[in-house]
Chains A and B, each alone.
Chain A
Amino acid sequence: MEDSQIYEYLPVLMLGALAVMFSFGILVGSVLLGKKGKRTPIKDTPYECGMLPVGEGTTRMSVKFYLVAMLFILFDIEVVFLYPWAAVYREMLRTDPGLILGAMVSFLAILFVGYIYALKKGAFDWH
């Protein structure tokens, strides 16, 4: 397995290591060099524009955000399928032009039906 392409990622790993070291270097440096201050109850209060905090820190959010994340997954998968198609599109136009266009148009059309449904149901309306 020594010829695995994973070694192409060695420079990426180096960059990643450098980025991580840089980030944590900054965090640690800040602790070492920073001024040491006193802890006061006011300082430990969550910031709410200078007022005393009301209620809990983590409020409940609209279910819309969940829907957005769900729709994101579905469209993300669609996008992933689009890339290999784009990569061979012109190549296959020579051999089988009807198939290569028809296949993706029908794939997109099927998904577009779902999109229209979500649109009509008001999934993209934010009030």
Chain B
Amino acid sequence: MSLFEALPDVFQGVTTLFQSDPKIAVARILLILLGFLMMYLGRKGVLEGLIMIPMGLGMAAINASVMVFDPLGIHAHSGGMSTLFLEAQVGAGVEPVQAAADTIKILGIDWLQPIYTLTFSNNLIACIVFMGVGSLLDIGYVLARPFVCMTIALFAELGTMVIFPLAIYCFHFTPQEAAAISVVGGADGPMVLFTSLLLSPHLFVPIAVVAYLYLGLCYGGYPYLIKMLVPKRLIALKMPAPAKKPVEYNSMEKMAVAAILCVVLSLLLPIAAPLIFSLFLGIVIRESGIKAFQDLVSGPMLYTATLFLGMTLGILCDANTILDPKVLPLLLLGMLALLISGIGGIIGGLFMYWVSGGKINPVVGVAGVSCVPTTAKVAQKVVSKANPSSIVLPLALGCCVSGVITSAIISGIFCSLLKGDSAIAQTLMSFITR
């Protein structure tokens, strides 16, 4: 065999492009370009750079580095093509002993497999991100106006509530799958990972990818939604200072509130307790005054977890996963969920504007769509553009935190009601077969 004849074996990334199904080859090229675009938009600040830059590079790299490599014999359908990054579905559909053996084997081969298996697919990374997010939150904003914030956050769950029946009735997803998809409407990445792992682990990868891809788009898309739905004079509305000075809470008091709230929520929704605990641990650390912990959790831990999360999500975006026939409806439903939640949040903002007699800027409604703190930043950015002297950020952050709480509540309810073969799940199943 001459060196020339061996060239296809040397440059396998290119060879596999020609050997694979043309649909897959085109998708690989498009995904590489999409990865570059995401990086560019992240760098420009149009999309959230913290997720989009590592995710974009991961997406481009994974679709470039496909080779003929199938140590577990699970890629026969794609001509034995895979990568040295990770196997998302390792062990799926085989007996437990074989699954364990496959996992151990692939842990020693694929370089990102330990990150995926030991932090991503067990939700540890989501808990760490939530801890970091908690350390950035000031619970004082919710304490200032709990009912206003919670009402807006409930309106902003509209996407979840619309997509859940739609996914069952129109797209014939099982109730568990529908719940996992609809939680994308809560715009809370860790919560989406958590719910899909618990309710439909086989859809975990595409749901996680869709959720984070669109969460990044919230940053770029919601300003247009606000401009479409809220009149210009209301966007520029300056919220008057409350007649009665709001009660201020010191760190000790905020810590006590966070601790009690954590226990109450864990008592009500034990199924979501790991995430609830992580979030409130972050809040408690913030208020504890222990600077070393604050610096650790809000700095290295949060940014390391976010970097690996973005990178792993990008790596999961290989052409085979994206072209899975089940992913297209997911892309559509995920986008619809976030769009309807955004509309719901703005309706909530307009409702509060009306209830308060014109004292609340309706733009804060979009912050009810959680995605801490992106949507609060979006609300302030849009308002500042229309009226630089109008400050909505404190209330928007309160709505954002409440959005996390309502997402946790809805995820907890879904997981409790639909896990396993519950009576409600069986009743809902009948709508698919009808």
Q: Do A and B come from one complex?
A: no
Q: Mark A residues whose CB is within 8 Å of B.
A: none
